[in-house]
Structure 1
Amino acid sequence: MTGPRVLIVDDQSLVRTGFRMILNARGVNVVGEAADGVEAVSAAGQLRPDVVLMDIRMPNLDGLAATRQIIALLPQCRIIMLTTFDLDRYVYAALAAGASGFLLKDVTPEHLSNAVRLVGTGDALLAPSITRRLVERFAAESAPTRLHRDLTPLTPRELEVLTLLGTGLSNTELACELMLSEATVKTHVARIFAKLHLRDRAQAVVLAYETGLVSPSGSPA
């Protein structure tokens, strides 16, 4: 088996078995399973996975609380939230808790394996269109007060990039908007992450909204 080491967390055994079979068939190493958040935190501490597929709604300890605990324990671990509902109201909270993206449980086998590999490389699993809808639909109720975060380390250009990134633009779209090469955009994004200690694009989107750079309508404030 190659690629990221994966822990599957879901209270339905059929879901766990199905995902394990799909990932194993595509050469992804599933190192363990857990049926609730408590088991997930314990398993993560023992197995130290690279990626966790995490159900949001579970007994004993839900996916949000488990995500916070696992990231506190393993800062480099990537969490992909699983939900049965498109734009579940908990997804924004999950991203704020440190998750790197989310998938619907009816995801295709190919999309599932590709998503795990993508997040395992350190990228975030957030399509720009989904990002825009997330901010517009749920951010206002999830983060009603502006977060006071020091953005002074950023240059004016980096602040501009962060603002546009927060509206859900991809690197290609950022390059077109700012009339820069994609390589230059990637450099700006990497510097923003380093200066603000952000894990990935998902955290950048959340930060852009919570600091007031992006309004609840999903556009620059």
Structure 2
Amino acid sequence: MNSPQDETGSRHPEPQRPGQSISVGLVEDQQLVRQGIASLLEISEHIRVCWQAENGQQALSLLAQTPVDVLLSDIRMPRLDGIGMLQRLRADGNPVPVLMLTTFDDNELFLGSIDAGANGFLLKDVSLDKLCHAITQVAAGGCLIEPEVLQQLQEHRLQDGKAHNPLSERETDILRLIAGGLANKEIAAQVFLAEGTVKNHVSNILAKLDCRDRTQAVLLALAQGLI
């Protein structure tokens, strides 16, 4: 399932078309948790689990045989964890959205997942409604961090001291609009700038935050409390 792209190749969310099924690869080393999530998703009418893997290495092999729209993956796993799997995917130029499952007791793992190219984060005790919404959102090119996860990370950041914001006020405003799912043309209309000027601002934002794409920039900014 592909989403529209702007001039920079960034993907933007698009509405899920009626009757369109989202294929998911489930990566989780704990069998009981994995089977529980798969059983939950079987209830959904528009999401189907195509395959299950117990580590990142197995997931990469299955993905090569059967591509999916979204990977739903644990962070901690034996052999190859979620971050290692993500790094290999992005190094190979594979943009498949990855939604990470976490108990969130390690802030560095969370930030490492953002750096590796994750598209969203959910707690493992998430409800079916939230899980389906998150899968649909990242499949459409969006990003997501559960409020509980975001709050805990930002509290940790406050204890360590407020993160320096390298962005200008205008760039920060534009990044907030990007977080809202707006494309360059829509942002230009909101801030009364030419679309080309907005595109330049987006390029500057990615450079200053050292991010490969808009999704990573939004997640990093949310995690660090910049927006």
- Tell me the residue number matched to 1:184: 190
Aligned AA (1:159): E
Q: CA deviation at 1:72?
A: 3.0
Alpha-carbon distance between aligned partners in 2 of 1:75 and 1:26, rounded to the nearest angstrom: 26
- Name the count of aligned residue pairs: 193
Of 18, 30, 34 in structure 1, the residue corresponding to residue 49 of structure 2 is 30
Residue 217 of structure 2: aligned partner: 203
AA paired with 1:192?
Answer: V
The answer for the alignment partner of 1:160 in structure 2 is: 172
- 1:73 matched to 2:92? The reply is yes
Are 2:116 and 1:116 aligned?
Answer: no
| RMSD across aligned positions (CA) | 4.2
Runs of 4+ in 1 over 6 A off after TM superposition: 180-183
Deviations 1:29-80 (A, max 9, x none): 2111100111011112221111111111111111110111123335320111
One-letter amino acid of the structure 1 residue matched with residue 117 of structure 2: G
Pick from 103, 109, 129: which aligns with 1:84?
103
Aligned twin of 2:62: 43
Cα deviation, 1:146-189, whole Å, max 9, x if unaligned, reads 99xxx9xxxx7752325x63xx99649xxxxxxx989726x859
1:10 matched to 2:28: yes
Query: Cα 1:190–1:36, aligned 2, differ >3 Å: closer, same or farther?
Result: farther
- Note the 1:123-134 alignment, pairs <5 A: 123-126=142-145, 130-131=149-150, 133-134=152-153
Q: TM-score, normalised by structure 1?
A: 0.68
What is the TM-score when the length of structure 2 is the normalising length? Answer: 0.66
- Runs of at least 5 residues in structure 2 that lack an aligned partner in the other structure: 1-18
Q: Which has the higher contact order (CA 8 A, sep 6+)?
A: 2
Give me the identity figure in percent: 30
